[in-house]
Structure 1
Amino acid sequence: MERIESRLINQISEVPLNNTPAIFSRWTKHLKLRLGHLFIHKGFLLLVIGFLLGRALILSKLIPFALPFFVSVYMMRREKAGLAFIALVAGSLTVSFETALFVLGGMVSFLLLYPFIKKFFDESLKTLPVVVFCLSFSTKLAVIYLLSGTPTMYENIMALIEAGLGFVLTLIFLQSIPLLTMQKYKQSLRSEEIISLVILLASMLTGTIGWQLSDLSAEYILSRYLVLLFAFVAGTTVGSTVGVVTGLILSLANVDNLYEMGLLAFAGLLGGLLKEGKKIGAAFGMLVATLLIGLYGNGKMDVVPTILESCVATLLFLLTPSSLIEKVAKYVPGTVEYMNEQQQYVRKVRDVTAQRVSQFSRVFQALANSFSSDRLLSDHEYSEKEVDYFLSNIAEKTCQTCFRKEQCWSQQFDTTYDYMKQIMTEAETGNLMQNHKLLREWDRYCMKAKKMVEVMEKDVAIYQANQKLRKQIQESRKLVAEQLMGVSQVMEDFAKEIQRERENHYLQEEQIFHALQEFGIEVGHVDIYSLEKGNIDIEMSIPYCEGRGECEKLIAPMLSDILDETIVVKREECAAYPNGYCRVAFGSTKAFVVETGVAFAAKGGGFVSGDSYSMIELGAGKYAIAISDGMGNGERAHNESNETLRLLQKILQTGIDETVAIKSINSILSLRTTDEIFSTLDLAIIDLQNAATKFLKIGSIPSFVKRGNKVIKIESSNLPIGIIKEFEFEMVSEQLKAGDLLIMMSDGVFEGPSHVENHELWMKRKITELQTNDPQEVADLIMEEVIRTRSGKIEDDMTVIVAKIKHNTPKWATIPAYMYAKKAQ
């Protein structure tokens, strides 16, 4: 701490003289740091509290505050217990010798007894109130016996009452002492903690009884200031509570102060009600309460001192720095400062979480870059280098013992290298023995031609295997890099989503609330989370409607008119009992909807089809339709195609790009088994906001779009999934329109008609001849037509999916709300 203070002093000394605001700001911060260090760390605050509690009396006789305070400090801040001891003794000496003797005796007795308590009780904190009760009662009787002789019945009862107060105060001080003497990292106070703190502060005020400034009493000024401060910070509830508690404790100290409880409670109530008028409004509430209660309490003769005391308290309140008020308000639930502090904490947690997710995203991106980084050598250079290594290995096996080694590899290097490279090329293609010309030339050139050719043919197979393995490793590296990059992108998008915080839409919430109220719909509250076009998110609570559908029939249509966008009920949680409130979530509807129809049949009319299909609702406002055809028929083909769609659904719903998802599925299916099994995939992803559609056809047959009397073919040529580990595929995009029919089918349907040479023209003609636009009827008709051409026989698994693109027409018309503006900006 000393190093921090010296550094601040040095910084202040370095500020230019012409920068007065900066100098003042630094001096202010330095002063706050000094005061905080003095009061909190050095314990000067405990000296002040201890001195006041040491002279605080109840009914001018009882001293219940000193021993509980010392015990609490000893347990919470043992290193500062010495200061509390001195302050309590000093404060009690200002009252009387008997009071000081009682306080001193109680604290010394506790210090002597505590080692035994700690030894025999595991949880000594729970036993402290009982210990204080016993010590207070026994010490009081001992002091009375020493000074006055045997205690009377009255003195015994008063000692018992004092011990009981000590028992309660110990419980209170154990909660309130840490609030004043420790830096509190938790930015909130429970109701019990607030009341305990108020009792401690009010107990301190009883120590000021008897202090006079002219005809003004210090306890009245400070108590009214305390009530005014809490009323302004926390409102009527806390303000009136503080007034009652403070007035009650002051009246216990002095019965003449009983009317003060009513004044303080009323002042807390008015001060809290008028807090919207800032400090002046709260101060005015205090003065009004003083005038009313003052006249009622003591009559006209004491009105002037009472008003002056309230004026002094109001002046102290007006001079209180706003920073101190804001600091107090941060710990009181329900205040704006508290809410801002909580939001700041939540925002900090959110930012830290987003930062961590971004860090993970960058880690995956770095891994992806490391897997996909370009080699230092190009493919051509790397291949040349591999050839050199291979030929040098062959020369090492055949030329080391040859007497013409020096001549071949030093004098005629280029000729020797070219011959060996030609032999290697012919050996790789398997045509070496058929190239008689090359063999004759090589035989004339080399003394060990036959041995060289034998070694070349033998080792070239190993070379080809190494090359194939290297290519597979490169393909695997590329696949892993793409997958890691996809995961990195998903995590980065998630981090951005985390950082999107709820905006404040107070004006719009008021608009919607009053519009519904004027229309006659009772609403509990309205919470707007987003007003983004196409992504509106509103929640509200309404009374239990007994299933009449008010949300869908009335509220959603009114919101649609107010927000100029079609709003529907997204989620509804009905109340558990008739008089409760239902919670309803409203959101934007999509511009388009998809109505689907499916027809399928297994080969030979069996129960298990090798085809699988799926309609997937993706979270990003997209709709996916997929057909997968496993190789062959039966259960094995069904499992293969079903596994393909299951993996596709899981990966797409995570938000990974479609191309990365397909490559990942291909990698999994191609690497998990050595069997020659594969499956096709026909995938269409429809954007429900603009009907733009992406088609991915992996080994599948064409799809068709029927638009009026026009039929559009959509196709691409890609190998089926699972055949090879690395493949590239073509993605086709098409802009669909409302009323379009998207027809997707497996090869069993497309190639099913017998005695048809051009299946594409036949299918286009049948689609054109359709007289219905109902998706299910279209699917059934196409399936029936194909089976009829086979005379009722089903030669292969067949699946048809028909999707109709429609404008999303709301079920209920909008209800105009003319008196309210549309969607305030």
Structure 2
Amino acid sequence: MKEKKVNRVLLYLLGFLCGHSAVVGMHPFMVPMLAAVYSIRQSTFGLFAAMLFGGTVMYGIGGWNAGSFFQMGPYVMGEQQLPVTYFLLKYSLILIGVLVGLNLTEGVRRNLSEHTDRSGKKTKRKGVKQSYGTNIRWILAGICAILVFGISTVCGLMVEPVQNALPAAGCEAVISTGLIPAFRKGLEVILLHKRERDHYNEELLGILIVVTVCIWGMPYKIGGVVTWLLMTGLYLSWYTLHRFGAGYGMAVTGVCGLIIAIKSGQAEFVGSFFICAILVLAGRALSDKKKTGTIVSVLLACILIGLTYDPYFLTPEGIKSAGSAVLLFAATPKWMLTVRDGWIQSQYNFQTATEINRITAEKIRELSGAFKRIEYTLAGCGPAAAKVDLGEIGDMIGRFSDNLETAEPVPFNREEQLRTRFLEQGVIMTHLSSMKNEMDHVQYYITARTKNQKIMLSKDAADILSEVFDKPIRASEDTSAIISENDRVITFEECARYRCSYYVRRIKKYGSNVSGDNFSVKEHEDGRLVMMISDGMGSGSLASCESTLMIDTMEELLDAGFDPSYGIAFSNNCISEKNSGRCFTTFDMGIVDLYNGELTQYKQGAAPTYIIHSEGIEVLCGASLPIGVLPEAECDVIHQELEPEDRLVMVSDGAFGDEEDMCEILEKLDTEDCKETLEYIISQVLLRCEGRLEDDVTVIVAKLEIA
């Protein structure tokens, strides 16, 4: 409510200044102001009165000579001083005519876009509204041009000859008509806070034109004492620089300095304004956008300019003007200086809500697909396959919900820097947000498209993000590989601190056609490297089916977001009920968090896991039963911190009889290479059994390295 009242007061103030702004006796800015306000659905009656009141004050009321009190400067009034009645008659007719024309045009549009069927129901006509939207500007321009030219000509002939009246009327009609689009863009930003990144230049031009008209309508001096225009120009420049930064701020500063230089006849004001703006931006940056920093930089700038460039700022009049502007800036409420963050947050919230909806829908599709694949994988496992713990599903959804709540905007200066870097490469970034995944790692979601039918590789975009955020960032594995001319969401993530190189060998039992062992190695997008080995009972196709069932089920459950311990317990229950304890399979899973190097080992009847440190060998053992022996069985979970260059060796139970044999082999290693380590282990296994393996053997060797 407070913001609406402020916007209404601001609208009427802009209207007053438009009415008070004249060029050689003409007021060509009232029509575009009225048309623009009408098009954005704001109050036109109050604006109508404010503009006429502004012009009336300029010409004087009741015999009072406004020119003696308000010193407007050159190029404002014409050669002859016209009475206030002439102004009221001329521009009342013009504004009323424009309002009537706008309402008639709106009525025609509604009639064209709707029709009534036989039942009396009104429906929309497809295509008409779009066609009307294409031609609306030409219709409005024609109406305004005809009205302004006609009324200005008739009124002009009342006070001057035809050779002067016609050119003046034509000039006023062209200016009034041509400025409508610019006024509309500027007022959308100023009043509605509507900003579109793709139309930044048009918005900036619109704001500059509105600001120029308003500043031009201000008197240079009031009562011959107060240098009103200089004070207002300085305040507006500092305010815009502090609130909006260099983009809008430097443009407004240039406009203020130029107009003040014209009205005062002192060209030095242009340079003074720009020098002050540079120092204000420096103070704003050093103080992290605090008002105190801007005030200090303003004071230093005025002193420096007075000493080195323009002595006017050290004169009593200059000190009074600059000091008044400083006091006015210091008295500005904080919410007026920071409300822009609210606009950004509002826009961010809308875009983030859209992004969260997309992520949620994608997650639901993933869950749906995962559940269907799990059902297919576990077909024939009996009722246990349908006994998914609802509490576990609730926890999984809760974790996903917690991740969504971590969504937050990226610091605005970083976002603007990133947007600029992308524009240099021909890419338009329309949205940027960040969110933490289940492993508490930051992911970035960017909505972007290219210009002029170009393409950009996602990995090149990741390089730009890395430079802007000053940390290694990569494109997610399952995200789009390119950015094209159509808007698409690209996901990026912080690069993990570590990476793992790994090698796997699987050898079947001597005389067997099929190995009963199965394995899986997969790096998940959340930075987890998951390595699994499942050894079915015995060898052959039956053992392979059991181990494949275990591996496939765990892959689907992990992809769906279930906790590993629950996935193992669920799989054990299903396989136990399916086989009634007659067949079983061992299961060994190692999960390495590539962000912090932590290893979590899950063992269900599996062989030991070996970690080769620089100072020795560490053995991780479990004591639980294999999968499928009992419906309920505890899983051994072991946590271990890994160091760079550590090697992890996972084996199936057919490799060696006991852990001492394996430790003896590993102690004789004279290489740190991951692949050579694997080949050495396999060669020793084959050597000890003389090439006739009595059981299937699978070996995974992974080495942790700095990324």
Same fold by TM-score greater than 0.5 = yes
* Separation in structure 1 between the aligned mates of residue 153 and residue 471 of structure 2, nearest angstrom: 77
Question: Contact 2:603–2:624 (CA<8 Å) still a contact in 1?
Answer: no
* Separation in structure 2 between the aligned mates of residue 737 and residue 244 of structure 1, nearest angstrom: 60
The yes-or-no answer on 1:801 pairing with 2:704 is no
Flag the 1:602–1:488 CA change in 2: closer, same or farther, 3 A.
same
Question: Contact 1:705–1:713 (CA<8 Å) still a contact in 2?
Answer: yes
After superposition, residues 253-652 of structure 1 pair within 5 angstroms as 257=263, 259=265, 263-264=269-270, 266-274=272-280, 276=283, 278-286=294-302, 307=315, 309-320=317-328, 322=330, 324=332, 326-330=334-338, 338=341, 342=344, 480-481=389-390, 483-484=392-393, 487=396, 490-491=399-400, 494=403, 498=406, 588-589=497-498, 598-601=505-508, 604=511, 606=513, 608-617=514-523, 624-630=530-536, 638-652=544-558
User: Which letter does structure 1 place at the counterpart of 2:185?
Assistant: Q
Question: Contact 2:221–2:227 (CA<8 Å) still a contact in 1?
Answer: yes
After superposition, residues 21-170 of structure 1 pair within 5 angstroms as 40=7, 43-58=8-23, 60-77=24-41, 80-93=43-56, 94-95=58-59, 96=83, 97-120=85-108, 122-123=132-133, 124=136, 127-148=139-160, 151-152=162-163, 154-170=164-180
User: Which letter does structure 2 place at the counterpart of 1:266?
Assistant: S
TM-score between both structures, scaled by the size of structure 1: 0.54
* Separation in structure 1 between the aligned mates of residue 273 and residue 620 of structure 2, nearest angstrom: 82
Q: 1:202 pairs with 212, 216, 221, which one?
A: 212
What is the aligned partner in structure 2 of residue 564 from structure 1?
Answer: none
Task: Provide structure 1 residue ranges, at least 5 long, that are not aligned to the other structure.
Answer: 2-32, 296-302, 333-337, 362-471, 507-528, 540-555, 557-566, 577-582, 751-759, 812-825
What is the aligned partner in structure 1 of residue 563 from structure 2?
Answer: 657
Question: Contact 1:611–1:638 (CA<8 Å) still a contact in 2?
Answer: yes
Q: CA deviation at 1:221?
A: 3.9
1:422-479 residue CA offsets vs partner (Å, 9 max, x unmatched): xxxxxxxxxxxxxxxxxxxxxxxxxxxxxxxxxxxxxxxxxxxxxxxxxx99x88975
SS of match in other structure, 1:683:
strand
Question: Contact 2:573–2:632 (CA<8 Å) still a contact in 1?
Answer: no
* Separation in structure 2 between the aligned mates of residue 737 and residue 208 of structure 1, nearest angstrom: 71
Flag the 1:232–1:68 CA change in 2: closer, same or farther, 3 A.
same
User: Which letter does structure 1 place at the counterpart of 2:681?
Assistant: V
Flag the 1:52–1:238 CA change in 2: closer, same or farther, 3 A.
closer
1:236-286 residue CA offsets vs partner (Å, 9 max, x unmatched): 6645422432455578xxxx6374565145324324325526324324535
**Larger Rg over CA atoms:** 1
Flag the 1:795–1:712 CA change in 2: closer, same or farther, 3 A.
closer
* Separation in structure 1 between the aligned mates of residue 443 and residue 545 of structure 2, nearest angstrom: 43
Flag the 1:242–1:349 CA change in 2: closer, same or farther, 3 A.
closer
* Separation in structure 2 between the aligned mates of residue 266 and residue 219 of structure 1, nearest angstrom: 15
Question: Contact 1:271–1:284 (CA<8 Å) still a contact in 2?
Answer: no
What is the aligned partner in structure 2 of residue 176 from structure 1?
Answer: 186
1:159-206 residue CA offsets vs partner (Å, 9 max, x unmatched): 222222112322222233345555x48799955445433432332333
Q: CA deviation at 1:54?
A: 2.0
Question: Contact 1:50–1:87 (CA<8 Å) still a contact in 2?
Answer: yes
Question: Contact 2:231–2:324 (CA<8 Å) still a contact in 1?
Answer: no
Question: Contact 2:609–2:651 (CA<8 Å) still a contact in 1?
Answer: yes
* Separation in structure 2 between the aligned mates of residue 502 and residue 215 of structure 1, nearest angstrom: 48
* Separation in structure 2 between the aligned mates of residue 709 and residue 87 of structure 1, nearest angstrom: 86
Task: Provide structure 2 residue ranges, at least 5 long, that are not aligned to the other structure.
Answer: 60-82, 110-131, 284-292, 364-381, 415-433, 445-465, 477-482, 484-491, 670-676
What is the aligned partner in structure 2 of residue 727 from structure 1?
Answer: 632
Flag the 1:217–1:667 CA change in 2: closer, same or farther, 3 A.
same
Q: 2:684 pairs with 767, 781, 794, which one?
A: 781
Q: 2:587 pairs with 670, 676, 682, which one?
A: 682
* Separation in structure 2 between the aligned mates of residue 112 and residue 345 of structure 1, nearest angstrom: 35
Flag the 1:733–1:115 CA change in 2: closer, same or farther, 3 A.
closer
TM-score between both structures, scaled by the size of structure 2: 0.61
User: Which letter does structure 1 place at the counterpart of 2:393?
Assistant: L
Flag the 1:771–1:213 CA change in 2: closer, same or farther, 3 A.
closer
* Separation in structure 1 between the aligned mates of residue 494 and residue 190 of structure 2, nearest angstrom: 44
Q: CA deviation at 1:611?
A: 2.4
Flag the 1:648–1:156 CA change in 2: closer, same or farther, 3 A.
same
* Separation in structure 2 between the aligned mates of residue 705 and residue 589 of structure 1, nearest angstrom: 20
Flag the 1:674–1:308 CA change in 2: closer, same or farther, 3 A.
same
Q: CA deviation at 1:601?
A: 2.2
Question: Contact 2:554–2:571 (CA<8 Å) still a contact in 1?
Answer: yes
1:200-240 residue CA offsets vs partner (Å, 9 max, x unmatched): 23323333347632355544443344334334555666454
User: Which letter does structure 2 place at the counterpart of 1:173?
Assistant: F
* Separation in structure 1 between the aligned mates of residue 97 and residue 352 of structure 2, nearest angstrom: 52
Question: Contact 1:243–1:261 (CA<8 Å) still a contact in 2?
Answer: no
* Separation in structure 2 between the aligned mates of residue 503 and residue 71 of structure 1, nearest angstrom: 37
Q: CA deviation at 1:598?
A: 2.2
* Separation in structure 1 between the aligned mates of residue 620 and residue 104 of structure 2, nearest angstrom: 93
1:557-595 residue CA offsets vs partner (Å, 9 max, x unmatched): xxxxxxxxxx9978599xx9xxxxxx99776348xx786
What is the aligned partner in structure 2 of residue 399 from structure 1?
Answer: none
Q: CA deviation at 1:106?
A: 0.8
What is the aligned partner in structure 2 of residue 222 from structure 1?
Answer: 232
CA RMSD, aligned part only?
Answer: 5.6
Q: CA deviation at 1:600?
A: 0.9
1:8-47 residue CA offsets vs partner (Å, 9 max, x unmatched): xxxxxxxxxxxxxxxxxxxxxxxxx5xx67654xx45444
Flag the 1:658–1:586 CA change in 2: closer, same or farther, 3 A.
closer
Flag the 1:130–1:635 CA change in 2: closer, same or farther, 3 A.
farther
Q: CA deviation at 1:65?
A: 1.2
Q: CA deviation at 1:683?
A: 0.4
What is the aligned partner in structure 1 of residue 70 from structure 2?
Answer: none
What is the aligned partner in structure 2 of residue 697 from structure 1?
Answer: 604
User: Which letter does structure 2 place at the counterpart of 1:104?
Assistant: S
* Separation in structure 1 between the aligned mates of residue 507 and residue 346 of structure 2, nearest angstrom: 57
SS of match in other structure, 2:26:
coil
* Separation in structure 1 between the aligned mates of residue 307 and residue 661 of structure 2, nearest angstrom: 97
* Separation in structure 1 between the aligned mates of residue 348 and residue 238 of structure 2, nearest angstrom: 31
Flag the 1:614–1:351 CA change in 2: closer, same or farther, 3 A.
same
Flag the 1:353–1:670 CA change in 2: closer, same or farther, 3 A.
farther
SS of match in other structure, 2:389:
helix
Q: CA deviation at 1:674?
A: 9.2
Question: Contact 1:240–1:269 (CA<8 Å) still a contact in 2?
Answer: no
1:375-413 residue CA offsets vs partner (Å, 9 max, x unmatched): xxxxxxxxxxxxxxxxxxxxxxxxxxxxxxxxxxxxxxx
Question: Contact 1:537–1:588 (CA<8 Å) still a contact in 2?
Answer: no
